[in-house]
A and B are shown apart, each in its own frame.
Chain A
Amino acid sequence: MKKKTIRFTTIFALTIVSAAILMALFPSLFTQYDPLELDMSNKLQGPSAAHWLGTDEYGRDLWSRIVFGARISISVGFGAAALAMLLGVPLGLLAGFVGKTTDSIIMRIMDAFMSFPSVLLAILLITIFEPSALTLIFTISIVSFPAYGRIVRSSVLSLKEREFVEAARAFGAKRGYLLFRTILPNCASAIIVQFSLFAASSILIEASMSFLGLGIQPPAPAWGSMLSYAKTYINQSVTYILVPSAAIFLVVLAINLLGDALREWLDPMKLK
């Protein structure tokens, strides 16, 4: 029975994530409306045959804004997670493998970045730049790379003491070989699982920043900024709030579930 539920959630997660990625790549396959096209005679409508999720305060089709918004969420989410990986993994490897002073210095720098609640650090960094998708990717990766580094460092520390690494060392393996051929491949599953978790949290941070008006700027259809406008029309249209909320919720939930599934699949020993 347990197995069945795992499969169901994984299929659900895979469907949502691949739909979101397809929307991000080929939005016009999913909708015939232009997400920026105004139609003032049809504003703030509920679901109808023409606009099956209704319209916003300018009469723009909500479904088409969700579809085109997926590009922003997916690219910022995955982009930030990838950049955090590029920053965090080498630093974590270095700290864990070299140890001593190098380790202390790297760890304290990461501690410093982790001393800010994540939204706060993102807000602080975003004041430096003009808000854009690239800025968001950069900012969010700065927020999450220390956690990435810590995870990699701790798995390097435990792998370093394992017999197969000892054995490789005893055979006279060079440091580079030890690091990239024996230790790194064994960190890979932790790295992949973290990637999916960070992609989900990056999407949430992007939505939060856009909601605060510090992220993607209008009229671009970011889900978070749609909600900050929907807030104003809370008395007129409930669907306007429900639709972007559901989009963020489903995508974040699906990526998290996929991360859990990956963890179980890649590391069956840890399954509790």
Chain B
Amino acid sequence: MQQSSIPKYLLKRLLMAIFVLLLVTIIVFGAVRLAPGDPVQAKIGPYGDYSEENIARVRAELGLDKPFVVQYLIWVRDGLRFDFGVSLRNGAPVGQLIMQKIPVSLELIVLSMLIAILISIPLGVFSAIKKGTVFDQIVSVTSTGFLAIPSFSLGLLLMIVFAVQLKWLPPNGYVAFRDNPLMNLRYILMPAITLAMLEQASLTRYIRSETIEIINSNYVRTAKAKGLSPKMVYFKHAFKNVLVTVITLIGMRFAQLIGGTVIVEQLFGWSGLGWFLYQSIVNRDYPAVQATVLLVAVAFIFLNMLVDVMYTVIDPRIKLS
């Protein structure tokens, strides 16, 4: 019974994701359509031709003469072909602009995630094993503290220390890795550490509580009762299960980080997707805003689905419902 229900569950999960995706497109389309500012005016520009025929022509060109629902359907159809229209700012295809920005953000997100994992696994696991000790309390106080720091404050503090006082790192900017790997590294360090420090705080908390649960579980107690050394128990039995949790957590946090980069990229001038979104908002470049938000939401839904599916496949105890 358990065996046959897995494909059924996957199908159900996929249908759910598609339905949610549909709602997301409606939210994004609706929000941007409700936004102030006249796209016709933006297209014609301040010194353009405002005769009635020209306004009607531009409206037709932008597809605004059609009913709302038809406009939405056309937008979805084009979106499926990765055609999101052209940027109001420079006339370049939005899809192309976004494709250029994705690797830039991905580099930052992957690096900060990596740093966060390297910090939080040992901290989380050891504070669980040493629960109640001074070490555990220090870890818990620091992660509670980090959860209350806004990303821009942490970023600015790093900037004060490493750019203004010590002058070790450039305060902000971006250089592509293939142009100059060393400069790329110098620019990425502060934004990556900012994101990583905030990320490790919540990861450490999760890993700690998961590890405590696993340590108290029956199979670990059995392994201990069998007379295995604590080291063997922790590394052979417990740690494997901690890793399962860590993988699912990383998937979820990764998706959240895509959104979290807006502030940090803007602060450090790291010209990735978040920076691009911010510029588009400030310039009221609606096609670009629409496409970026939609793509991030799609990535988010996809990652969450992947995490869910992986979780059920890895851990058969999860109830399929």
Contacts and interface: CB of A to CB of B under 8 A. Distances in A.
A127 B300 contact: no
A212 B266 contact: yes
B309 to A, nearest CB: 15
B31 A124 contact: yes
Interface string A118-141: 111001110110100000000000
Contacts of A204: 148, 150
Interface in A179-215: 200, 204, 207-208, 211-214
B84 to A, nearest CB: 15
A224 B157 CA distance: 15
Contact of A120 (B147, B151, B153, B262): B262
Contacts of B24: 112, 115-116
Contacts of A257: 144
A213 B282 CA distance: 9
Given A116-B296, A120-B262, A235 B164 contact: yes
A160 interface: no
A253 interface: yes
Interface in A215-269: 224, 227-228, 230-231, 234-235, 238, 241, 244-245, 248-250, 252-253, 256-257
B36 to A, nearest CB: 7
B260 A119 contact: yes
A161 B255 CA distance: 34
Q: Is the interface of B mostly helix, strand, loop or mixed?
A: helix
A226 to B, nearest CB: 11
Sorting the interface of chain B by its residue count into under 10, 10 to 19, 20 to 34 or 35 or more gives 35 or more
A38 B148 CA distance: 31
Interface string B1-44: 00000000000000010011101100110011011100000000
Interface in B247-295: 255-260, 262-263, 266-267, 277-278, 281-282, 284, 286, 289, 293
B277 A113 contact: no
B12 to A, nearest CB: 11
Contacts of B35: 127-128
A227 B148 contact: no
Contact of B144 (A116, A211, A256): A256
Contact of B262 (A123, A235, A245): A123
Interface of B: 16, 19-21, 23-24, 27-28, 31-32, 34-36, 132, 137, 144-145, 147-153, 156-157, 159-160, 164, 171, 209, 212, 255-260, 262-263, 266-267, 277-278, 281-282, 284, 286, 289, 293, 296-297, 300-301, 304
Those 3 A-B pairs whose CB atoms lie nearest each other, nearest first: A117-B259, A112-B23, A253-B148
27 contacts: A108-B16, A108-B20, A108-B23, A112-B20, A117-B258, A117-B260, A117-B296, A120-B277, A120-B297, A124-B28, A125-B31, A127-B289, A128-B31, A128-B34, A128-B36, A212-B262, A212-B263, A224-B152, A227-B152, A228-B152, A238-B160, A245-B149, A245-B157, A250-B148, A253-B145, A253-B148, A256-B148
Given A208-B150, A227-B152, A249-B150, 7 more contacts: A2-B132, A112-B24, A116-B297, A118-B256, A127-B35, A245-B150, A253-B145
